[in-house]
Amino acid sequence: MGKGKSARSCECPVAAFQKMISGKYKLRIIWDLQAGPRRYGEIRSGLLRGGSGSSEIAPRVLSRELKALAASGLIDRRDYGVVPPKVEYRLTRKGRSFVPVIAAIRDWGGRHLAQASSGELEAAE
């Protein structure tokens, strides 16, 4: 290293970003939370709907994704401390600032991935 810089400050921003959002469901969770706070079951249901929804999401996988998003400061977990348990997840300011990035990825995918699929089909014929 040298000159007093930590390993963290030398990390590539793209690699740090990729590490923060790695995981099968993180982008979709953030995207769904833009509409407002959601409870665990609502998040799970949202992931099961949609074009690439799975038939099942293991609870520990979803819990791990939510904990990682909270640890990264993108979402906030609010436990109301009642019985039965009521926990809500919402975007933080940092998470809300990330929504336009996901929108840009979504727009890019809409434009280019459809073309790629068409091109692959034409090449296979």
Q: How confident is the model at residue 48 (pLDDT cuts 50, 70, 90)?
A: confident
Task: Please tell me the pTM assigned to this model.
Answer: 0.77
Could you list the beta-strand ranges (E) of the chain: 38-39, 75-79, 87-91
The CA-atom distances, in angstroms, between 112 and each of 22, 24, 25, 106, 109 are: 22, 21, 21, 10, 5
pLDDT in tens, 72-110: 999 999 999 999 999 999 999 999 999 999 999 999 988
- At 23, the amino acid letter reads G
Q: Which of 3-17, 61-75, 95-109 is predicted least confidently?
A: 3-17
Confidence bin at 23 (pLDDT 50/70/90): confident
Q: Above pLDDT 70, what percent of the chain?
A: 78
Tell me the H-state helices in the chain: 7-10, 13-21, 26-33, 40-48, 59-71, 93-124
| Beta-sheet strand order (sheet of 87-91) | 38-39, 87-91, 75-79
**Residue 104 or 115, more confident:** 104
| CATH fold group of domain 15-124 | Arc Repressor Mutant, subunit A (1.10.10)
